[in-house]
Amino acid sequence: KAGVTQTPRYLIKTRGQQVTLSCSPISGHRSVSWYQQTPGQGLQFLFEYFSETQRNKGNFPGRFSGRQFSNSRSEMNVSTLELGDSALYLCASSWTGGNQPQHFGDGTRLSIL
Amino acid sequence: AQRVTQPEKLLSVFKGAPVELKCNYSYSGSPELFWYVQYSRQRLQLLLRHISRESIKGFTADLNKGETSFHLKKPFAQEEDSAMYYCALKYIFGTGTRLKVLA
């Protein structure tokens, strides 16, 4: 069974631009969560989607948004990029979320110039 | 507020020595706690979760609600245990502890 797939693996953007990251969960998994990982802050929860609805949200500004499609694939969008948005963005999927273990992708490394 | 604290950034032990990676949490309800591990050049992966009460790769973790702790333990460390370990309360992750097992 294929694991969680994130594309692209690397991305370079400049301040003010916007970016869209994609995540394909493990087949059958309906919950997709997104995290931002930085050396200073560690892994920080962005949001979780389940059945095309945002079910949980972390403490990130509205510039960070996401969506989930009917096939459970998810996209994350960041608008008006700032230098501080440079990070590894991880996606994780699980059957239903909650107390289910999460399966992580390799991440998308976003660099802002 | 929900919080997970891993007080040690780095823990170095000798091969064959016992290991204890500390994790304390702050949560008012019934916690859903996990330990994840990231080996060098690999994805973050689940090690164990408190509801299953199982031992994985010789590691165990016991939930202590009184002390709000979920420490990860292994009686005899092996070199292949060297990795980054994260404690998580559902979607809230600790900052991680890097375990180095010395030969």
B57: left (phi over 0), alpha (psi -120 to 50) or beta: left
Q: What are B1-15's pLDDT values in tens digits? A: 889 999 999 999 999
pLDDT band at B50 (very low <50, low <70, confident <90, very high): confident
Residue B61's Cα: distance from chain center in Å? 8
Give the mean pLDDT of chain A: 95
**B45 contacts A104? CB cut-off 8 A:** yes
What does the DSSP 8-state code read for residue A30?
A: -
Half-sphere exposure of A14 (CA within 13 A, CB side): 0
Q: Give the pair of three-digit tokens for residue B77.
A: 């460390």
Task: Give the C-alpha separation, A10 to A27, whole Å.
Answer: 24
Q: Among B34, B50, B91, pick the best mutation site for testing chain A contact (most A Cβ within 10 A).
A: B91
Which of B34, B91, B92 is opposite residue A101, by nearest beta carbon?
Answer: B34
pLDDT at A1 (0 to 100): 67
A90 to chain B: which residues are within 8 Å by CB?
44
- Cα B6 to the center of its chain, rounded Å: 9
Chain B residue nearest residue A32, CA to CA: B91
Contacts of B93 in chain A (CB under 8 A): 35, 42-45
Q: Which of B43, B46, B92 sits opposite A101 (nearest CB)?
A: B46
For residue A40, the model assigns a pLDDT of 85
Look at residue B55 in the predicted model and tell me its pLDDT: 82
> Among residues A28, A34, A64, A69, which one has the least CA distance to residue A48?
A34
Contact B51 A99 (CB under 8 A): yes
